[in-house]
């Protein structure tokens, strides 16, 4: 019986190894002179695209008013139960505002449901990915840390208007 | 020369060689990491000191400060002996390798080799064979199956490759008509480099050297994916560092041996005809030796980051069915050449 031919039999030259080894080595040698892909983190920081879901924040209008009307939808939809909202009333046009708005960053899973469900475009996923804290108390972000001017969030808001 | 003078001169030589070895070993580790980074388009260590140049020292301090763990089931005396043996052998081998021509200092003729032994090459072969024991001991005494497998693999591999290594060297010895490293270097004056005269022997020797030093593509004794860490799985702290150092020291010795046996040692072809001052010639020749050695070390590292590991049966096949016959053919070729040239 004739010897079965494999899908790809090695030629003699390939079986000697050395020419193939030389080819491979030439490739790695070429790579030594290519620029590296490494981003040296603390010095060079990654600028995420608009589709990036970082830390959720509350939008703050230019005139200093917060967009949130404390409807509590985000809190309801949050699968990780990370958001706690307490509403209060004001004399302003929007009538309601969150007296207390806390996101527990130990619980948040960055799913972006809160952002999707928000009727006021008030809670928005920012590009912030540096979220280190050293104890549990610091992990609960209150309004002081959440309120962010709209100008910073422009990218994401445009992205949402286009694709949401 | 009196006994005292000989002792002092030898001590100084040993000191110089050991210093050079330790420095080269530590920076070899650095360059290993750097070159691996370059081939993979990364940056490599660059935090400790300028461009990461102090990284080797940081590594050493880290290892020194670690806890030394010995497994309960280990055979403690042998477990401790193995890394020491590995280091002693790795450093001891370097004694017979000449790094330059003899110089005249304060009326003494000083050869640039620690021990000018008549049977230098035999000594190297003998010591590298003992090197197997270090690995086998560590594998056996650790009381772990991974270590044992690594140790057994290593001894089988080293024994098979020692043969083709020895026969490749035999071809060199035919030309030099001596086992003395200085004579072997002298026999390759001009462009009579053994690498050019007996290319087959050169290739078999280099491949065997890779297998002897347990470097990729023959690093089966420490094949990480299958054997965790191989023979040094159960070692930590300074004992692990000793194995690590020994591996790199072996690499240096292998490349120094290749330079001595095949690449004309410290000789630079036809440098005498340039008519330079003798001190300049000598320092150029010493520099030439280190450049050759450095190029080979780079080659070792470059191969490691290019080639995948051989399977165990492939390794044995190459050792016995390819390297051994090839080295025999080379021996015959060398013998014919010697007959024709004389």
Predicted complex ipTM = 0.71
The answer to whether B255 and B300 are in contact (CB under 8 A) is yes
Residues 6+ away with beta carbon under 8 Å from B51: none
B170 upstream amide cis, omega within 30 of 0: no
Going by C-alpha positions, the residue among A159, A158, A151, A141 that lies closest to residue A57 is A141
Question: Which secondary structure element, helix H or strand E, spans residue B211, and what is its range?
Answer: helix B199-212
CB half-sphere exposure, B333, CA atoms < 13 A: 18
């309601």: which residue's tokens? Answer: A96
Tokens representing B50 are 């300028």
Q: Are B151 and B136 in contact (CB under 8 A)?
A: yes
Instruction: State the nearest Cα–Cα gap between A6 and chain B, in angstroms.
Output: 19
Tell me whether residues B35 and A32 touch, CB distance under 8 A: yes
In this prediction, residue A109 carries a pLDDT of 92
> Which residues of B, range 154-213, sit inside 8 Å of A by Cβ?
203
The predicted pLDDT at position A117 comes to 92
Q: What pLDDT shows up at residue B1?
A: 65
The pLDDT assigned to A79 comes to 92
Question: Phi and psi (nearest 5°) for A62?
Answer: -60, -35
Q: Calculate mean pLDDT across residues B49-59.
A: 85
Question: Percent of chain A at pLDDT above 90?
Answer: 15
Helices (H) and strands (E) in chain A, counts: 7, 6
- Number of other residues whose CB lies within 10 A of the CB of residue A127: 18
Closest CA to A68 of A108, A50, A95, A91: A95
∠ CA B15-B18-B19, rounded to 5°: 80
B97-107 per-position pLDDT tens digit = 887 777 776 66
**pLDDT, tens digit, for every residue of B119-140?**
888 888 888 888 888 888 888 8
Which residue of A10, A20, A35, A38 to mutate against B (max B Cβ within 10 Å)? A38
Best probe of the A interface among B34, B38, B308, B325, by most A CBs < 10 A, is B38
State residue B107's pLDDT score: 67
- The angle formed by the CA atoms of residues B74, B77 and B79, to the nearest 5 degrees, is 50
Q: Sign of the CA dihedral B203, B206, B212, B214?
A: negative
| Residue A27: closest C-alpha in chain B | B306
Structural domains in chain A?
56-163 (3.30.70.3270)
Q: Where are the domains of chain B?
A: 67-341
Number of neighbours of residue B176 by Cβ within 10 angstroms: 19
B158 exposure class (CB count in 10 Å sphere: 0-12, 13-18, 19+): buried
What is the predicted pLDDT for the residue at B90?
Answer: 84
Whether B190 shows a pLDDT value over 80: the answer reads no
pLDDT > 70: percent of chain A: 96
Mean model confidence pLDDT for chain B: 83
Contacts (Cβ under 8 Å, ≥6 apart) of B127: B89, B92, B93
Q: What's the pTM value of the predicted model, to 2 decimals?
A: 0.81
Which helix (H) or strand (E) segment holds residue B63: the answer is helix B55-64
Q: Inform me whether the pLDDT recorded for B115 exceeds 80.
A: no
What confidence score (pLDDT) does residue B275 get? Answer: 72
B57 has a pLDDT exceeding 80: yes
**Hey, is the C-beta of A21 within 8 angstroms of any chain B C-beta?**
yes
- Residue B303 CB: number of other CB atoms within 10 A? 18
pLDDT digits (tens, 9 = 90+) for A54-83: 899 998 888 888 888 888 899 999 999 999
Q: What is the helix (H) or strand (E) element at residue A101, kind and residue range? A: strand A96-104
Contact A28 B203 (CB under 8 A): no
User: Which 109-148 residues of chain A touch chain B by CB within 8 A?
Assistant: none
Are A25 and B303 a contacting pair at CB < 8 A? yes
Section B303-311 average pLDDT = 84
Top-confidence residue, A126 or B265: A126
pLDDT score recorded for residue A7: 67
pLDDT of B232-278, one tens digit each?
Answer: 888 888 888 888 888 888 888 888 888 888 888 777 777 777 777 77
**∠ CA A73-A78-A83 to the nearest 5 degrees?**
80
Average pLDDT over every residue of B298-310: 86
Contact B302 A28 (CB under 8 A): yes
Of B35, B41, B307, the CB nearest to A36: B41
Distance between alpha carbon B235 and the CA centroid of its chain, in Å?
23
Q: How confident is the model at residue A121 (pLDDT cuts 50, 70, 90)?
A: confident
- Is pLDDT at B48 greater than 80 in this prediction? yes
**Secondary-structure percent of chain B, ordered helix, strand, coil, rounded to 5:** 70, 5, 25
Average pLDDT over residues B24-50: 87
Other CB atoms within a 10 A radius of the CB of residue B26 amount to: 16
**Residue A1 confidence (pLDDT):** 53
């Amino acid at each position: 019986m004739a010897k079965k031919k494999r899908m790809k039999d090695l030629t003699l030259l390939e079986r000697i190894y050395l020419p193939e080894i030389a080819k491979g080595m030439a490739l790695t040698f070429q790579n030594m002179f290519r620029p590296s892909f490494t981003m040296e983190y603390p010095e060079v920081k990654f600028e995420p695209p608009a589709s990036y879901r970082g830390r959720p924040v509350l939008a703050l209008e230019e005139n200093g008013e917060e967009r949130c009307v404390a409807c509590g939808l985000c809190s309801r939809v949050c699968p990780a139960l990370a958001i706690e909202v307490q509403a209060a009333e004001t004399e302003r046009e929007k009538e309601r505002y969150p007296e207390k708005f806390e996101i527990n960053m130990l619980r948040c899973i960055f799913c972006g449901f809160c952002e999707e469900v928000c009727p006021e475009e008030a809670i928005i996923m920012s590009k912030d990915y540096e979220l280190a804290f050293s104890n549990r108390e610091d992990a609960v972000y209150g309004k002081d840390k959440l309120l962010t001017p709209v100008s910073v969030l422009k990218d994401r808001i445009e992205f949402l208007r286009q694709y949401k | 020369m009196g006994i005292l003078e000989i002792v002092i001169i030898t001590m100084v030589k040993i000191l110089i060689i050991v210093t050079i070895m330790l420095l080269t070993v530590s920076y070899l580790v650095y360059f290993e990491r750097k070159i691996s980074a370059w081939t993979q388009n990364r940056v490599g260590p660059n935090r400790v000191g300028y461009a990461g140049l102090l990284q080797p020292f940081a590594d050493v301090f880290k290892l020194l400060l670690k806890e030394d763990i010995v497994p309960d089931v280990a055979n403690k005396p042998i477990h401790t002996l193995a890394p020491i043996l590995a280091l002693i052998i790795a450093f001891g081998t370097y004694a017979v390798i000449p790094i330059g021509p003899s110089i005249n200092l304060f009326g003494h003729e000083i050869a640039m080799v620690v021990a000018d032994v008549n049977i230098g090459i035999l000594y190297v072969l003998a010591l590298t064979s003992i090197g197997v024991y270090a690995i086998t001991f560590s594998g056996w005494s650790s009381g772990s199956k991974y270590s044992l497998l690594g140790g057994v693999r290593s001894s089988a591999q080293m024994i098979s490759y020692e043969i083709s290594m020895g026969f490749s060297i035999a071809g060199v010895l035919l030309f030099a008509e001596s086992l003395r490293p200085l004579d072997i270097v002298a026999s390759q004056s001009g462009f009579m480099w053994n690498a050019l005269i007996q290319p087959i022997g050169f290739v078999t020797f280099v491949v065997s050297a890779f297998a002897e030093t347990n470097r990729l593509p023959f690093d089966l004794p420490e094949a990480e994916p299958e054997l965790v860490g191989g023979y040094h799985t159960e070692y930590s702290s300074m004992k692990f560092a000793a194995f690590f150092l020994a591996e790199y020291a072996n690499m240096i010795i292998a490349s120094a041996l290749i330079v001595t046996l095949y690449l004309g040692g410290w000789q630079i072809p036809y440098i005498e005809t340039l008519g330079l001052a003798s001190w300049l010639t000598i320092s150029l020749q010493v520099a030439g030796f280190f450049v050759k050695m450095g190029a080979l070390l780079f080659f070792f590292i470059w191969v490691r980051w290019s080639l995948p590991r051989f399977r165990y049966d492939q390794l044995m096949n190459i050792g016995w069915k390819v390297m051994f016959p090839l080295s025999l053919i080379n021996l015959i070729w060398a013998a014919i050449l010697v007959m024709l040239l004389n």
